[in-house]
Amino acid sequence: MEELVARYRRTGDPGARDLAIRRAMPLARRLASRYHRGKEPLDDLVQVAYLGLVKAVDRFDPEYGAGFGSFAIPTISGELRRYFRDTSWSLHVPRGVQEAVLDVARASTELSRRLGRPPTISQLAEASGLDCEQISEALHARAVQETTSLDQPRNGEDGGVMIAETIGREDANLDLADHLVTLGPLLRALPAREREILFMRFAQDLTQSEIAERVGCSQMQVSRLLRRSITRLREASDEPPRPPARRARRRAARMEAG
């Protein structure tokens, strides 16, 4: 191989270049199969590996003293890594994490075949040269490598129920949970009669006259009890008092006149 590449570098003979590439194709195919995880078509990975092989032949310099294989393997592997980085991630993930995912995936495949079971994190760390924290990060990143469209049929068949149709919608009454947590203790501090009147007014939306009929008092008493209860709740919640409606109307009138 080195002689063929050296001849190509020295004379530019395309025949030597083509022969060197053909002889190194088995190496490229082996590297592609190492990166194959079942989801990507193997033929696509082989084509990417061949591209890396061509780059290795064109860039290799025999004068450096290293063998062609020592130069070609990282060149082809780098091309495969770039392919995965550019095409297989649905989310933006740092390059270092993407590289770690590939290393962990390759180590996991080899160890699973050898051990007959999934490897542990410590075994993956030893095989890949990464520490346990990097292994955990790579495993979590691999779990979100691919995303699913909400417009995709749930059962994978056209015409089926879309995934988005099975997701719960926002509850319009969700904010009431915060109100219940805030007002619950305050309401329990009020007398039972005032709590009942507040419930009929704001939960059942009854008028003051209707409430007065139910509790057996005048509409004026209901109005006074409502004001007193609301004032107590406001004071207990440290909310600043609001100006009376009459005062607010006078202030608005002065602003319009001015």
Token pair listed for 110: 């080899």
Token pair listed for 214: 């139910």
- What single DSSP character describes residue 165? G
Q: What per-residue confidence (pLDDT) applies to 91?
A: 60
- CATH number belonging to domain 175-257: 1.10.10.10
Residue-wise pLDDT for 213-237, tens only, equals 998 899 999 999 999 988 888 877 6
Residue-wise pLDDT for 74-86, tens only, equals 999 888 888 877 7
- Structural domain boundaries in the chain: 1-88, 95-147, 175-257
Q: What per-residue confidence (pLDDT) applies to 107?
A: 87
Q: What per-residue confidence (pLDDT) applies to 238?
A: 62
What residues contact 201, with CB distance under 8 A and at least 6 apart? Answer: 208, 211, 226
- What single DSSP character describes residue 154? T
pLDDT band at 38 (very low <50, low <70, confident <90, very high): low
Residue-wise pLDDT for 113-126, tens only, equals 888 888 888 888 88
Token pair listed for 174: 């969700």
Say which CATH class 1-88 falls into. mainly alpha
SS3 109: helix
Tell me if 1-88 shares its fold with 95-147: no
Residue 194 pLDDT > 70, yes or no?
Answer: yes
Mean pLDDT of 123-141: 86
Q: What per-residue confidence (pLDDT) applies to 140?
A: 79
pLDDT band at 211 (very low <50, low <70, confident <90, very high): very high
What residues contact 77, with CB distance under 8 A and at least 6 apart? Answer: 31, 35, 52
Nearest residue to 90 (alpha-carbon basis) of 45, 156, 39: 39
| Fold (topology level) of 95-147 | Arc Repressor Mutant, subunit A (1.10.10)
Least confident of 21-30, 53-62, 141-150, 175-184: 141-150
For every residue of 191-228, DSSP letters joined together read -HHHHHHHIIIIIS---HHHHHHHHTS-HHHHHHHHHH
Alpha-carbon distance of 8 to 58, in angstroms, equals: 9
